[in-house]
Copies of this chain bind each other. A is one copy, B any other.
Amino acid sequence: MRDPDKPQQIIDAAVRVFARKGYYNSRVSDIAKEAGIAAGTIYLYFRTKDDILVTLFREKMTEFVGTVRKAIADEPDAVAKLRRLIHLHFELLEGRPELAEVVQVEQRQGQKFFRGASAHEISSYFALIGSVLEEGVAEGRLRPTLPVKIATKTLFGAMDQMATSWVLGKRGYQLADTADAVADIFLQGVAVR
Residues of A within 8 A of B (CB): 22, 24-25, 105, 108-109, 111-113, 115, 147, 150-151, 153-162, 164-165, 168, 178, 181-182, 184-191, 193
Nearest CB of B to A139, in Å: 18
| Contact A150 B181, CB 8 Å, known A157-B161, A158-B157 | yes
| B161 in contact with A112 (CB, 8 Å) | no
Nearest CB of B to A11, in Å: 20
> What are the residues of chain B within 8 A of A156 when measuring CB–CB?
161
Cα A186 to Cα B70 with chains together (Å): 28
> What are the residues of chain B within 8 A of A168 when measuring CB–CB?
111, 115
11 contacts between A and B (CB under 8 A): A22-B109, A105-B108, A108-B109, A115-B168, A150-B162, A153-B161, A157-B159, A157-B160, A157-B164, A188-B188, A188-B191
> What are the residues of chain B within 8 A of A155 when measuring CB–CB?
158
Our pick among B162, B184, B188, B191 for the contact of A157 (Cβ within 8 Å) is B162
Q: Which residue, of A24, A105, A150, A151, has the highest number of chain B Cβ atoms within 10 A?
A: A150
A interface, over-half SS:
helix
Cα A186 to Cα B150 with chains together (Å): 11
Our pick among B108, B111, B160, B178 for the contact of A150 (Cβ within 8 Å) is B178
| A162 in contact with B153 (CB, 8 Å) | yes
Cα A108 to Cα B22 with chains together (Å): 11
Cα A153 to Cα B20 with chains together (Å): 24
> What are the residues of chain B within 8 A of A109 when measuring CB–CB?
22, 24, 108-109
Cα A75 to Cα B109 with chains together (Å): 37
Closest 5 CB pairs of A and B: A157-B161, A189-B189, A108-B108, A185-B189, A157-B157
